[in-house]
């Protein structure tokens, strides 16, 4: 007889293949069949959505009142200037969370990302263009840079801005792309085990390995909720409610009442499927069911009473809660 497993094989091999300064492959194996993609897909999501980065969130340009304005002597208008600015990737020194940085340039000159580096800010895209100034022109501006995750629209970056500042959409994510592939790997003559290769590319604010490490920390923090005693006990309490005799009756289909065709059809057309739905209704609610006459109303009330309940029955809160969940599930 072949050996029967009682636990899945835990992967033991982990490798980092550095492709460039900002790109690397994270490799792990061997996984049981299906396990590699089960881990790779959520890790990719966490890498793209939860990696912390920096972005400009507001700018003030001397002589410009709004993003559709222009500055004398600058080739680009303000909207193009802002688009260029968003392509420049900042990194605050000393792990600061927010900073306001002031700049002043005089033409003629071409301003690139590298020109924005100073004691407070490191630019990880030094060759990215920003603006071109003509002779006798000057450009003075201030940028607010902040730390964050994901994408934040301009209306959410600041509750209140100082006069002259323009709020910016902020794309904080330092991870540019994450792809993965699953390969078969041989383990003890069995070719059905798997190896996962995650390729991570960042913009330079963070290394691929640090981004991967951070995504693991976020993933572990999200899963930690399932270690809570409260979370473990809650399903037990729900299970006891669901096993109560009252709830079992209340979740019985109205077929079991033995109603006449007219009465049944009135309830069915109103999407009333369970006996419990009738008990939760007031007498007026039941009377107002479309096309339900007095004779049918009396019949339904009588049949529900024979089942041990009454229209408008006062039920225990936990039973009502569990009953409503059953009803919602049917209507979904």
Is residue 111 helix, strand or coil?
strand
Q: How far apart are CA 196 and CA 18, in angstroms?
A: 16
Beta strands in 67-154 (DSSP E): 90-92, 98-106, 109-112, 121-123, 129-133, 138-149, 151-152
Check: CB of residue 147 under 8 Å from CB of residue 166: no
Give the CATH number of the domain where residue 205 resides.
Answer: 3.30.1360.10
Q: What mean pLDDT, rounded, does the chain reach?
A: 85
Give the CATH number of the domain where residue 249 resides.
Answer: 1.10.150.20
Query: Has residue 240 got a pLDDT over 60?
Result: no
Query: Has residue 242 got a pLDDT over 70?
Result: no
180 and 165: one domain?
no
Is residue 13 helix, strand or coil?
strand
**Predicted pLDDT at 264:** 82
Question: Max alpha carbon distance in the chain (Å)?
Answer: 95
Q: Is residue 195 part of a domain?
A: yes
Query: Could you say which of 207, 227, 247 is where a domain stops?
Result: 227
63 and 160: one domain?
yes
Terminal C-alpha separation, the chain: 47
pLDDT tens readout for residues 278-328: 888 888 888 888 888 888 888 888 888 887 778 876 777 767 777 777 777
Count how many domains the chain has. 3
61 and 167: one domain?
yes
61 and 110: one domain?
yes
CA neighbor of 56 nearest in space, from 37, 16, 29, 84: 84
Q: Is residue 266 part of a domain?
A: yes
159 and 205: one domain?
no
What is the average per-residue pLDDT within 100-129? 92
Beta-bridge mates of residue 201: 23, 177
Q: Is residue 284 part of a domain?
A: yes
Q: Which two tokens stand for residue 6?
A: 């009682």
121 and 254: one domain?
no
Q: Is residue 305 part of a domain?
A: yes
Which structural domain range is residue 216 located in?
13-51+175-227
Neighbours of 49 (CB within 10 A): 14
123 and 269: one domain?
no
Least confident interval from 45-49, 145-149, 269-273: 269-273
CA neighbor of 28 nearest in space, from 179, 177, 181: 181
314 and 296: one domain?
yes
165 and 33: one domain?
no
pLDDT tens readout for residues 39-94: 999 999 999 999 999 999 999 999 888 888 888 899 999 999 999 999 999 999 88
47 and 123: one domain?
no
108 and 210: one domain?
no
**pTM above threshold 0.75:** no
Q: Which two tokens stand for residue 112?
A: 């690139």
**Predicted pLDDT at 231:** 44
Query: Could you say which of 194, 210, 227 is where a domain stops?
Result: 227
């Amino acid at each position: 007889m072949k050996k029967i497993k009682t636990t899945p094989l835990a992967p033991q091999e982990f490798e980092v293949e550095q492709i460039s300064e900002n790109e690397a492959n994270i490799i792990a194996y061997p996984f049981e069949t299906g396990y590699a993609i089960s881990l790779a897909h959520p890790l990719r999501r966490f890498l793209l959505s939860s990696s912390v980065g920096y972005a400009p969130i507001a700018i003030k340009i001397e002589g410009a009142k709004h993003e559709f304005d222009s500055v004398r002597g600058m080739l680009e208008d303000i909207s193009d200037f802002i688009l260029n600015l968003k392509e420049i990737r900042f990194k605050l020194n000393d792990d600061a969370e927010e900073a306001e940085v002031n700049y002043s340039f005089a033409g003629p000159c071409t301003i690139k990302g590298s020109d924005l580096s100073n004691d407070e800010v490191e630019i990880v895209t030094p060759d990215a263009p920003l603006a071109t100034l003509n002779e006798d022109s000057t450009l003075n501006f201030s940028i607010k840079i902040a730390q964050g995750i994901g994408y934040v629209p301009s209306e959410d970056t600041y509750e209140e801005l100082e006069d002259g500042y323009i709020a910016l959409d902020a794309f904080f994510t330092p991870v540019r792309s994450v792809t993965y592939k699953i390969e078969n790997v041989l383990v003890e003559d069995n070719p059905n085990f798997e190896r996962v290769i995650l390729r991570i590319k960042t913009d330079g604010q963070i290394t691929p390995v640090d981004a991967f490490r951070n995504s693991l920390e976020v993933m572990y923090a999200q899963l930690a909720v399932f270690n809570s005693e409260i979370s473990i006990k809650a399903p037990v309490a729900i299970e006891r409610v669901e096993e109560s005799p009252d709830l079992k009756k209340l979740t019985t289909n109205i077929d079991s009442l033995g109603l006449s065709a007219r009465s049944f059809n009135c309830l069915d057309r109103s999407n009333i499927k369970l006996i419990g739905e009738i008990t939760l209704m007031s007498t007026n609610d039941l009377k107002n069911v479309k096309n339900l006459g007095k004779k049918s109303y009396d019949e339904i009330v009588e049949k529900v009473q024979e089942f041990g309940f009454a229209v408008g029955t006062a039920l225990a809160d936990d039973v009502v809660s569990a009953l409503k969940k059953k009803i919602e599930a049917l209507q979904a």
